[in-house]
Chain A
Amino acid sequence: MRFREYLLRRLLLFIPTLFCVMVLVFILSRMLPGDPARLALGPDAPMSQISALRYSLGLDKPIHIQFLIFLENLLHGKMGLSLLTNRDVCQDVVQFYPASFELALVSMTIAMAIGIPLGIVSGIKQNKWIDHLSRVVSLFGVSVPRFWLAIIFILVFSFYMRIMPISGRIGSGIPPPAHITGLYLIDSLVTLNIPAFVSSLKHIILPAISLSVSPLAQIVRLLRAGIIEHKRAPYVMMVKANGMPEDLINRKYLFKISFIPVLSIIGLLFASIIAMSFVVETVFSWPGIGRYGSNAVLYADFNAIVGVTIVAGVTFIIANFVVDMFYGYFDPRIRYG
């Protein structure tokens, strides 16, 4: 099967990209002003301690050796101490990442569940009222500042209507579900912990919606453009002229070919949600990697910044890889080309 070859080729591309990202992060992290050893020990530390630390951190070695040490530490899950939590950054990442991942997953689900039907209808009923509506929605979606939308949501749904919680992942009185995947929604469902499920669902809705507006808008736009492009295409005309029912054409044939470009940006969108979550997580005090990262930048916690960058970059690359797989499955031209 050729599909396997395609996968292998993608996988081989995946490794150098990952490597290059590591190089980039390493270079940027070594551009830090000042001596990392002095920063770690404070201004009053004696010279002998500093050089001892420099030696143990490998800072006295040539730069490419330092890079290898950096990679080796990474493999062993050592990213250095975080100033904020006083733990190894790796531990922090493991703790905070699932919350962000869950948030991104839910936002993407919302964006796709609304964006795909809206995009299709909008493309098929071009220039009808539903099309105008969806264009306004998508224009609104790419134009509204997420942090502000998040605040307005809190103002309306939490303060005035009092139907949604203000912050956090789960109600304060409710113990979090047993740790299985780290995603509260899944963990609570698996353990049949209904109160925890309801509470975490309520907590995730507002942040997820504020994060989903922009990807939603982009999905609608791209799908609409695709449908409009393909609905006059010769292969659509041919089946239509020879008697295939129009709703079958729209649902199956027009949809699949228009969906391919959407698929290719879904990975990008997923990863950009992780990046966008910096502000939204801050607003909702969502205990995720985004809030951790923005605090790290604010308090100049360099090890944490590097850690967050690596995690976000890796997420991005993996998301793109997964999308590439689907892409090859969907579009035979890519697979064999």
Chain B
Amino acid sequence: MGKTNYSTKLISCRAYLESFFRGIYVIRKNTLAIVGIGVFLSLLLMCIFAPWLAPYPEDAGDAIHLSQSFKSPSMLHILGTDQMGRDIFSRITFGGRNTLLAGLIIPLVGASIGCTLGLIAGYIGRRIGSVIMRTTDVFLSIPPLIIALLVIGVFGPSLKNIIFALSIVWWPWYTRLVHGEVISLREETFVESSRLLGAKSTRTMFSEILPNAIPPIIVKITLDIGYAILNAAALGFLGLGVLPPTPEWGLMVSQGRLYLPSIWWITTFPGIFIFLAVFSINLIGDGLRDLLDVEVM
């Protein structure tokens, strides 16, 4: 008996290693995903080290150098300056902190809420479960951005409220996924046997059921980071996010609009950075989707 056990373990270990190498092979073949990882990491590092990287760190705030205003891109200001004479590149490095932070937090919070609710709905109670799922249906039946606007309308514009509003509308998809997974797995033998062996239901949920739902969740979170960045930037663009002297990519795009068409750089560059961030995260998401072989919208 012990021997069989050992050999099964060995086999599963080998299978695990094999799938790991296969994964590396798939990723290596997927140059685009590598490029995505590279670009996104550099953007992230750029924002983390903004105080050291930015040529004019003080321009991230409400500095005013009127003599320097509306300078087009040059060696001195590689991406030009805005109406207050502040260096656009410096503001982009600091602004990315807000935009990317929102983009990273929102899907994570949404996924945690969603997965927990899905597990509860699927595993614990029929009554609680159906209440949760009906609520999920309702939330799924209104566009998330609309609810987010309603929430921001109620609590007032600020970055914190954007993150809060988008986080609480982001969960329904995860709830539905995890719930579906739990329902289909609940009756499977390995879950049944762990229950028969006396494992607590919470233990069964986290050690037996959740791991099976992880690949689609990972892919969805990755892709959602992109959507969250776009939505947060859009709300920022409408003026519902951070308040003016603080930089944020969406807000910077909107501030530059007043000076179009001659002063094109204030608007163009922050937009390119949003695009780069979302594009690279989508490349990663696509690569992961191929790697984990799941289909996620």
Asked if A and B form a direct contact in the complex, defined as CB atoms under 8 angstroms apart, the reply is yes
Binding site for B on A (CB under 8 A): 17, 20-21, 23-25, 28-29, 31-33, 139-140, 142-148, 151-152, 154-155, 159-160, 218, 222, 225, 265, 271-272, 274-276, 278-279, 282-283, 293-294, 296-298, 300, 302, 305-306, 308-309, 312-313, 316-317, 320
B274 partner, pick from A29, A139, A148, A225, beta carbons under 8 A = A148
A155-B240 CB under 8 A given contacts A312-B142, A312-B146, A320-B141? no
Most interface-central of B146, B155, B257 (chain A CB within 10 A): B146
Whether A279 and B234, one on each chain, are in contact in the complex, defined by CB atoms closer than 8 angstroms, is yes
- Indicate if B197 sits at the interface (CB-CB under 8 A): no
Q: List residues of B (212-259) whose CB comes within 8 Å of A's CBs.
A: 226, 230, 233-234, 237-240, 250, 253-254, 257
Binding site for A on B (CB under 8 A): 134-135, 137-139, 141-147, 149-157, 226, 230, 233-234, 237-240, 250, 253-254, 257, 260-261, 264, 267-268, 270-271, 274-275, 278-279, 282-283, 286, 295, 297
What is the distance, in angstroms, from B112's C-beta to the closest C-beta of chain A? 22
Whether A298 and B240, one on each chain, are in contact in the complex, defined by CB atoms closer than 8 angstroms, is yes
- A163 and B41 CA atoms in complex are apart in Å by 40
What is the distance, in angstroms, from A324's C-beta to the closest C-beta of chain B? 12
Whether B153 and A302, one on each chain, are in contact in the complex, defined by CB atoms closer than 8 angstroms, is yes
10 A-B residue pairs with Cβ-Cβ distance under 8 Å, sorted by A, are A139-B283, A142-B282, A145-B250, A151-B257, A152-B268, A225-B295, A298-B238, A305-B150, A308-B149, A309-B146
What is the distance, in angstroms, from B262's C-beta to the closest C-beta of chain A? 9
What is the distance, in angstroms, from B127's C-beta to the closest C-beta of chain A? 17
Whether A282 and B253, one on each chain, are in contact in the complex, defined by CB atoms closer than 8 angstroms, is no
- A305 and B147 CA atoms in complex are apart in Å by 10
What is the distance, in angstroms, from B7's C-beta to the closest C-beta of chain A? 36
Report the nearest B residue to A218, measured CB to CB.
B297
Whether A278 and B275, one on each chain, are in contact in the complex, defined by CB atoms closer than 8 angstroms, is no
What is the distance, in angstroms, from A21's C-beta to the closest C-beta of chain B? 6
Whether B151 and A28, one on each chain, are in contact in the complex, defined by CB atoms closer than 8 angstroms, is yes
What is the distance, in angstroms, from B221's C-beta to the closest C-beta of chain A? 15
What is the distance, in angstroms, from B79's C-beta to the closest C-beta of chain A? 15
Whether B279 and A155, one on each chain, are in contact in the complex, defined by CB atoms closer than 8 angstroms, is no
A316-B297 CB under 8 A given contacts A143-B279, A143-B282, A279-B234? no
Most interface-central of A222, A279, A306 (chain B CB within 10 A): A279
Whether B138 and A297, one on each chain, are in contact in the complex, defined by CB atoms closer than 8 angstroms, is no
- A24 and B154 CA atoms in complex are apart in Å by 13
Point out the residues of chain A lying under 8 angstroms from B156, CB to CB.
Answer: 300
A298-B150 CB under 8 A given contacts A20-B138, A148-B275? no
Whether A275 and B297, one on each chain, are in contact in the complex, defined by CB atoms closer than 8 angstroms, is no
B253 partner, pick from A28, A32, A151, A320, beta carbons under 8 A = A151
A145-B234 CB under 8 A given contacts A297-B152, A317-B141? yes
Point out the residues of chain A lying under 8 angstroms from B226, CB to CB.
Answer: 142-143
What is the distance, in angstroms, from A321's C-beta to the closest C-beta of chain B? 10
- A272 and B264 CA atoms in complex are apart in Å by 29
What is the distance, in angstroms, from B145's C-beta to the closest C-beta of chain A? 4
A139-B234 CB under 8 A given contacts A24-B142, A160-B261, A276-B145? no
- A308 and B151 CA atoms in complex are apart in Å by 13
Whether B143 and A20, one on each chain, are in contact in the complex, defined by CB atoms closer than 8 angstroms, is no
Whether A278 and B154, one on each chain, are in contact in the complex, defined by CB atoms closer than 8 angstroms, is no
